[in-house]
Structure 1
Amino acid sequence: MALHEYECPACGGAMEFNPKTQKIKCPYCNSEFDVKDYVANHNSSSTGEAADEYTNQSTTEDGQQLYIYKCGSCGGEILATESLGSTKCPFCSNNVVVSEKFTGEFKPDYIIPFKTTKEDAMKTYREHVRSKKLVPKVFLDENHIDEIKGVYVPFWLFDATMSFDGTYEGTKTRTWQDSKYVYTETKYYEVKRSGTEDFAFVPVDGSKEMPDDLMESLEPFDHNEMVPFNMGYLAGFLANKYNNPVDAMKPRAMNRIKASIISDFKATISGYASLRPINEGTGIVSSSYKYAMYPVYILNTTWKGENYLFAMNGQSGKFVGNLPLSWTRALKYYIPIAGIATLLAYLVYYFII
């Protein structure tokens, strides 16, 4: 497997994709190149041999096989999993891409380039933590971050035409009264809806390593900024090829589409006091898919032995993640408030009531 290595032709520094300029840039001499114009140099024909024979660490903690590649720039050994296609040489810091992870059947159709930086991710993380008054103070300490990395995550994008045929029971009520009684009249109606709806670019995470619910919470991504795939966008970032095949992920996409079409057709019904579904049938008229890479920042931090994972949409800056509750801070904030509230209630009762 050949390694594409992004070394600056002017000074030999490690080139990387700059989200702000959308160009490949050398951080040392500031040379810049358009992604489509840059040609990787010092390419290596390293075969990616299994690590079993060369190191005591042959697999990751979760059992993935490790492979060794040789850096064409310094000759150093690069350790990577089978699915990792873009990484960094640990010796010369050169950014490398295992080209065959993104060629042939593994070549993505599209990529959404990063538009935000690691500094943006750290700033957003700090703002997110500061907005939560009851989290442990240690989460504000940047040194507490175990790891922050920009990752291109593989996604399957599904287009589909879905049919819908639904029947509902709708009710309308009328109430009136005379001198003796209150009357309520309820009328029942059979309400039907049918038709088709087109869906485009419905995303499903193609990586086993990324939690599906976490990736979905980062949506939406703006597909108007999608561009044809070029390995130059990967320079300086991690990237995994898909290891969840499209056939395995199609049901998840179709379930998302099914939920959307039911909601959309149901939203066309109005004017009823209540609406009860009797039948909601869907069917796939046609479907197709594309393969794309999405930009995501991943932050890891630990506290009291627990790992906390945060993620940021590398295009829009949307940030998600769970934080623990600090009972010490909760008591600090709410005991005084509760005490004041109790005192005010006592004074109101004593002097007014």
Structure 2
Amino acid sequence: MGVIVYKCINCGGPLAFKAETQDWTCDYCLSQFTEEEVQQFIKKEEQSQEFSAEEQVREQEFQEKSVGYSCTSCGAEIVTDDTTAATFCYYCHNPTIIPRRLEGEFRPEKVIPFKLSKEKAAELFIAWCRKKPLLPRVFGSQSQLEKLTGIYVPFWLFDCDVSGNVQGKATKVRSYVRGDTRITETRHYRVGREGKAIFQGVPADGSKKMDDDLMAILEPFDYQDLEDFSMSYLSGYYAEKYDMDHNEVYPQVTQLLRTHMQTLLTNTIQGYSTVSIQHSNVKFHNVKVSYCLLPVWMFTYQFQGKTYVFAMNGQTGKIAGELPISKARAFAWFGGVAAGVFAILSAGGLFLW
């Protein structure tokens, strides 16, 4: 089964979603179309198929018209349509990929479209690199930035009501002088707080390959930009399917919310010298979860036998990643700093010869 291609209404060429203009552009005749125009065209095409029920059509669109690829080197799994040039694996640079079908349950409900084009992402990345004096010079070069890859990362978004209470001990310490004696008075109290909170859009990435800490640094995303999922948004990008369902990521979400709720309650205990929480209880109600794709620009760089992975929020431009250090540039930089300090100290007469 072939992958889906969104064709130009005017000339029949492939359409690609452009982050900078938020529309779909044909690279052959340069026609531009809004989301409404693309959706209307897709709807007309779908009406000609024998399955008329909306849910059947949507399921068929993702299950039969999308193709998965598995890297033979590291096992990363991605999904894309045939307007994307899969020239290398964004994790290990291995160019070998094997197509295979995707199951219908991997169809997302929502998506935040890319807001930053590849050119803008490269520009921001180069500006970021220039602020890092110890990076290898080739790190931010144009040849390296060709490996910059736009990928929709699978995320689970949780909404839930949370109730909780904390109990503990607190002290008030007062010190004063009476005559020639300083007196310290300590009073002990039992303290407790209880309350409720509503949490919406708590994210947890659904990919084992994605570094959780890396994805956490890229947050927050603005969920006001969430759109109903359409395969058309994947045009020109990769999209990874989840390999951890919402039940697998739920424990880390509850731990995060439990800690946050305890902090919220504890911070309401004011006016004491010390506070020690001894017991807490947090419960979750009306938990709802949705599956969505969030935009991330990925960049991998191999330096001295190690692969460094960087990520940029495709909506806000926020960057996260571990930096490689060039020993030669580090030596030159620290040498220059040392020479400058030496010159200053020598001018001040602090070195004796």
TM-score range, shorter chain: 0.7 to 0.9
1:3 to partner: Cα distance: 2.7
Matched AA of 2:338: A
Stretches of structure 1 that go unaligned for 5 or more consecutive residues are 52-56, 65-80, 92-97
Match of 2:307 in 1: 307
Deviations 1:313-341 (A, max 9, x none): 11111111121233433333333433444
| C-alpha RMSD over aligned residues | 3.3
Classify the secondary structure of the residue corresponding to 1:207. Answer: coil
Per the alignment, residue 62 of structure 1 pairs with: 74
Q: State the partner residue of 1:21.
A: 21
Q: Which moved more, 1:238-247 or 1:305-314?
A: 238-247
Query: Does the 8 A contact of 1:146 with 1:302 survive in 2?
Result: no
Deviation at 1:349, TM superposition (A): 7.4
Q: Kindly provide the CA deviation profile for residues 227-255 of structure 1, in whole angstroms up to 9, marking residues without a partner as x.
A: 11122111111112322112111112212
Question: Where do 5+ consecutive residues of structure 2 fail to align?
Answer: 50-59, 87-98
Residue aligning to 2:230: 230
Other-structure match for 1:84: 79
Cα distance change of structure 1 residues 241 and 58 upon mapping to structure 2, 3 Å threshold? closer
Relative distance call for 1:335 and 1:175 in structure 2 (3 A) is farther
CA distance in 1, matches of 2:218, 2:234: 20
- Taking the aligned partners of 1:15 and 1:259, their CA distance within structure 2 comes to 46
Distance apart, 1:59 and its partner CA: 6.2
Q: How many residues align?
A: 320
Could you tell me which residue of structure 1 aligns to residue 280 of structure 2? 280
Q: TM-score under structure 2 normalisation?
A: 0.80
Which aligned pairs between 1:315-330 and structure 2 lie closer than 5 A?
315-330=315-330
Which residue type is aligned with residue 205 of structure 1? D
Give 1:223 shift.
Answer: 0.8
For the 8 Å contact 2:301–2:308, the answer to whether it is kept is: yes
- Whether 2:231 is the aligned partner of 1:219: answer no
Question: Distance between the aligned counterparts of 1:290 and 1:118, measured in 2?
Answer: 28
1:155-188 per-position Cα deviation (integer Å, ceiling 9, x unaligned): 1111111121101222221122245333222222
CA deviation after TM superposition for structure 1 residue 220, in Å: 0.4
Q: Is 1:149 aligned to 2:149, yes or no? A: yes
1:190 alignment counterpart: 190
Q: State the SS of the aligned residue for 2:5.
A: strand
Q: Is the CA contact (8 Å cut-off) linking 2:165 and 2:265 kept in structure 1?
A: no
CA distance in 2, matches of 1:154, 1:235: 16
How far apart, CA to CA, are the structure 1 residues paired with 2:85 and 2:339?
A: 57
1:108-166 deviation line (CA, Å, top 9, x unaligned): 22111111111111111111111112222222322234621111111111111112110
Larger proportion of helix: 2
Q: Is the 8 Å Cα contact of residues 115 and 314 (structure 1) preserved in structure 2?
A: yes
Contact 2:14–2:83, Cα closer than 8 Å, also in 1: no
1 CA distance for matches of 2:321 and 2:84? 30
AA aligned to 2:150 is G
Normalised TM-score (structure 1): 0.80
Aligned to 1:297: 297
Closer, same or farther: CA 179–330 of 1 in aligned 2, 3 Å: farther
Q: Is the 8 A contact 2:3 2:81 kept in 1?
A: no
Matched letter for residue 321 of structure 1: G
- Give the structure with the higher percent strand: 1
Question: What pairs with 1:116-265 in structure 2 (closer than 5 Å)?
Answer: 116-145=116-145, 147-178=147-178, 180-265=180-265
Give the secondary-structure state (helix, strand or coil) at the position aligned to 2:148. Answer: strand
The answer to whether the 8 Å contact 2:170/2:273 transfers is yes
Report % sequence identity. 33
Partners of 2:84 and 2:237 within 8 A in 1: no
Quick one: distance in 1 between partners of 2:348 and 2:158? 62
Give, as a single letter, the amino acid of the residue that structure 2 aligns with 1:158.
F
Distance verdict in 2 for CA 1:350–1:180, change over 3 Å = farther
CA distance in 1, matches of 2:5, 2:184: 77
Deviation at 1:106, TM superposition (A): 3.0
Partner SS state of residue 224, structure 1: helix
Q: Within 2, Cα distance between the matches of 1:255 and 1:286? A: 17
